[in-house]
Copies of this chain bind each other. A is one copy, B any other.
Amino acid sequence: MTRISERRGERRSTAPRQTAWRRLANLYPPMRVLSDDQVEAIHETSLVILETLGLEILDDRALDRLAVERQRVDRASRRVLFDRHWVMERIATAPEEAVLHARNPERWIAVGGNHIVFTPVGGPPNCHDLDRGRRPGNSRDLTDLIRLAHSINALHTISSGMLAAQDLDQRTRHLDAYFSVATLSDKVSSVSLLGAERALDGIRMNALARGISLEEMQVRPGLFGGINTNSPLRVDGPMIQGLTAMVEHGQVVVVTPFTLAGAMGPVTLAGALAQQNAEALAMLAYAQMLKPGAPVVYGSFTSNVDMKSGAPAFGTPEYAKTTIASGQMARRYKLPYRTSNCTASNTVDAQAAYESQMSLWPAVTGHGNFIFHAAGWLEGGLVASFEKMILDAEQLQMMAEFLQPIETAREDFALDALAEVGPGGHFFGAQHTIARYETAFYAPLLSDWRSFQTWEADGARSATERAQRIYKALLAGYEPPALDPARREALADYVARRKREYATGGASTLP
């Protein structure tokens, strides 16, 4: 016993220093890059797009539903022209805020309003770390990434899609990912919306992990998931089916058009924004049609391509502008706003850092509520990087501290200290300093502020090399959150049963 506690104590003392997990509010006025007239012009154009060009919706059930709502549905082309009043009336029923509940009751998050939530990377097929280089990601990498994201306090949620593990059957790997997330973390998590079954598996497993019914899930939602439109102006069937399952079960849906200017959107930012707004409004209206008051989020992912190569670029000046502009659009509709932390860099270097910052500053100052890919995203989303997780964790911690307003109570002005110290003096020894110095300033996770000589004598490690040590220390210190063995067994049983069903042709026993 003594030995274990000694070891634990040791581990704790060498554990990387982090700020505590905490919910964040953004009390600063939001940044604006559009005038009110410009916001209205984008709004108006997007309604004209919906009225005159409409969307192609590759789902018959959705077309039926929209026809019932008297939208102009052309069965042959699957094109739907929307009525602007219908769209705006539907949008008006969306709530400004929603709460998502975690397995750990203390880890609930608020989506919308002044709240800001950081989520880890989602989607990459590859992963990278300094030791092993870039490689297709496997299930061990995924669980390590989940452990790491759980351990990083700056991340409010976990993501089931931190990596698409290439060694697993792609039909059922979502089940393995959900199981890992449910057992390795107790934060709010995301679910894949690529089809209704993946969404429903996620919803059922979240209920099992939390030991509640699907009815209770409706009242206390615990999952979020994102759909992308297949820009321009198309919505794929699986996406709309995933959205529908989530809405019907009361979970949070994020709708994000992928309007990469010059490729899937016009080469002009105004054009790409109007298209984004049209696609987002239509799908959010659809969600509200399914269930008025369903918690939804307006997503933006309008960046641009390199017109020489066609390669997508992220963290560009254009991306910074559309990120802030999209926040203005979301606020116009009183909708929570989702944005991202992006970079196109191929390695964890200065470019990765400045492009992430070129995403994060607009996201934060533009009042993003839900910052996807906030840690670990590299190479335009093709790679989940272990070192980038730490680089981003530092940046998120700094943003969290930036969001704490300057305090200006009487004692904060330190007039007595200034009188005590006097001209040319030093504040280190002042009573006012001594009473506050331990918590006065942000303490970094990754930044090295030592003198050059001290830093050099200690190995002259770059931020990326230091990030490697930190992620390894976090993984070494990882402890799984407690989980009732009965719930764990129920989850395992569920996965086993569903895998059998998928193997025998996918006949689902889901309701």
Query: Are B406 and A33 closer than 8 Å at their CB atoms?
Result: yes
Per-residue B-contact encoding for A397-421, CB less than 8 Å = 1, 0 else = 0110110111111001111011101
Check A29/B28 contact, CB under 8 A, given A346-B448, A452-B379, A462-B349: no
Contacts of A473 in B (CB 8 A): none
State A349–B350 Cα separation when bound (angstroms): 5
Number of interface residues of A (CB under 8 A): 123
Check A351/B446 contact, CB under 8 A, given A41-B408, A267-B414, A306-B441: yes
Copies of this chain per assembly: 2
Query: Are A418 and B49 closer than 8 Å at their CB atoms?
Result: yes
Q: In this assembly, does A264 line the interface, its C-beta being within 8 Å of a C-beta of chain B? A: yes
Selected from B28, B38, B463, B467, the residue in CB contact (under 8 A) with A406 is B38
Q: In this assembly, does A114 line the interface, its C-beta being within 8 Å of a C-beta of chain B? A: no
Check A346/B447 contact, CB under 8 A, given A79-B423, A423-B233, A424-B233: no
State A33–B269 Cα separation when bound (angstroms): 29
State A214–B374 Cα separation when bound (angstroms): 56
Query: Are A463 and B351 closer than 8 Å at their CB atoms?
Result: yes
Query: Are A398 and B48 closer than 8 Å at their CB atoms?
Result: no
State A394–B353 Cα separation when bound (angstroms): 13
Binds B, one of A246-254, A429-437, A502-510: A429-437
Per-residue B-contact encoding for A329-362, CB less than 8 Å = 1, 0 else = 0000000000000001111111111111110010
Contacts of A447 in B (CB 8 A): 313, 344-345, 351, 355
Contacts of A448 in B (CB 8 A): 345-346, 351
- Chain B's closest residue to A49 (CB) is B418
Give residues of chain A (265-312) contacting chain B, Cβ–Cβ below 8 Å.
265-271, 273-275, 304-307, 309-312
Contacts of A497 in B (CB 8 A): none
- Chain B's closest residue to A441 (CB) is B304
State A342–B33 Cα separation when bound (angstroms): 25
- Chain B's closest residue to A380 (CB) is B449
Query: Are A230 and B345 closer than 8 Å at their CB atoms?
Result: no
Q: In this assembly, does A316 line the interface, its C-beta being within 8 Å of a C-beta of chain B? A: yes
Query: Are A413 and B306 closer than 8 Å at their CB atoms?
Result: no
Query: Are A28 and B38 closer than 8 Å at their CB atoms?
Result: no
Q: In this assembly, does A53 line the interface, its C-beta being within 8 Å of a C-beta of chain B? A: yes
Check A271/B462 contact, CB under 8 A, given A264-B427, A345-B448, A356-B354: no
Selected from B268, B379, B406, B440, the residue in CB contact (under 8 A) with A267 is B440
Q: In this assembly, does A395 line the interface, its C-beta being within 8 Å of a C-beta of chain B? A: yes
Selected from B31, B263, B347, B355, the residue in CB contact (under 8 A) with A28 is B31
Q: In this assembly, does A232 line the interface, its C-beta being within 8 Å of a C-beta of chain B? A: yes
State A53–B274 Cα separation when bound (angstroms): 57
Check A413/B450 contact, CB under 8 A, given A266-B427, A317-B442: no
- Other A-B pairs, 7, CB within 8 Å; known A34-B406, A307-B440, A349-B463: A56-B423, A134-B452, A267-B430, A270-B406, A345-B448, A350-B391, A357-B358
